[in-house]
Homo-oligomer: A and B are copies of this chain.
Amino acid sequence: MSITIQDIADLAKVSKGTVSRVINGAPGVGAETRKRILKLIEELDYQPNASAQSLASRRSYNIGVIIPHTGSYSMSTTYWPALLTAITEKAASQDYNVLLSTARSEQDVDSAYRSILKGKRVDGLIVGAEQFGEKQLAELLLKDFPFVMVGKSTTFSHYYVDVDNVGGARRMTEYLVSLGHRKITMLAGPEILPSVQSRVRGFQEAMTKAQLDPGRVVYTSYQTADAEKSTLQILKEDPPTALFVAAADLVLGVLEAARKLKIKIPDQLALVTFDDHPFYPYLSPSITAVKQPIYELGRAAVEMLFALMGKKETAKQKILPVEIIVRGSSQPDPPLVAQPLPTSG
């Protein structure tokens, strides 16, 4: 079949152990011998069998990524593709591969967990915190298995990376206030999600500080249809002058609702969102958004995970700053080019 370490050893007239040492760059091999073995490896294009390596060394050189996704829309969000790209590339730079699981249901999560983790297929795990089963998380913690959450969990205190949800929402709200808006409503995702809670908090902090009603928050699911329904309700019952859409997954529903009611943005309603998208500059009007550094988030997650895997020191959390990109949907006269907002005091 394939060429094995034994073949190399035989040809080099050394033992398997010596070849193994060369492969792993371990000491205890003479310069001459090392060179001879490396040459053979090169010539025969030998590549160690990964399973055998994992079995013997107890390291798989794989990291697992479990991405929960609910709505069908999540695929058109740039969030997880960008995250995944970042994770894969960063992992590859350390000679690690990525084992991917998407999970639609609690059951998916459980089976992904069983197959990936207990089978020792991965050395560490990156999980989208939001909907990952708590039972499994608890078990991970208990076993002291290295894992990093993307996004903060409400129930578990553990290593995680996240963007500054509170600060981003606060600053965006302050920006709306600075434009003169007094009736501002936030359309948020499911209340149980930590990211939603943070964004709501940022919103409410800013509203309270401006002595405005912090109670103007409507929670909805991440289904486009629900987002649309909720928006219709908001706009009919108690229309605000500005609507803060707290997640990318809600945007399509909101746009659909606005279209149905023939509401002019930004004239009749200012619209801002959390999470940017390459298409936002081209929507009509272009959309003001809180831009998350998703790619950096993915890199940070991998860095943190590698630190944990290597038992190295690392901060328990890393919060990345966000940026506010002002476009047409929040101002009367849309400029052609987006302007980053100067940092609020």
Residue numbers of A with Cβ under 8 A of B are 2, 45, 47-55, 60, 62, 69, 73, 75-76, 78, 80-82, 84-85, 88-89, 92, 95, 97-102, 104, 108, 111-112, 114-116, 118-121, 252, 255-256, 259, 277-279, 282-284, 336
Chain B residues lying within 8 Å of A49, measured Cβ to Cβ, are 55, 119-120
Chain B residues lying within 8 Å of A60, measured Cβ to Cβ, are 51
Query: Which residue of chain B has the shortest Cβ distance to A61 in the bound complex?
Result: B115
Bound-state Cα–Cα, A101 to B63, Å: 12
Bound-state Cα–Cα, A115 to B88, Å: 14
User: Provided the pairs A75-B78, A76-B279, A85-B75 are in contact, do residues A50 and B101 lie with their beta carbons within 8 angstroms?
Assistant: no
Chain B residues lying within 8 Å of A85, measured Cβ to Cβ, are 69, 75, 102
Bound-state Cα–Cα, A163 to B71, Å: 25
Contact at A118–B76, with CB atoms within 8 Å?
no
Question: What's the least CB distance linking A293 to chain B, in Å?
Answer: 14
- Taking a contact as CB atoms closer than 8 A, the residue among B89, B95, B256, B283 that contacts A104 in the complex is B89
A84, A252, A259, most chain B CB atoms within 10 A: A84
Query: Which residue of chain B has the shortest Cβ distance to A282 in the bound complex?
Result: B255
Bound-state Cα–Cα, A99 to B89, Å: 13
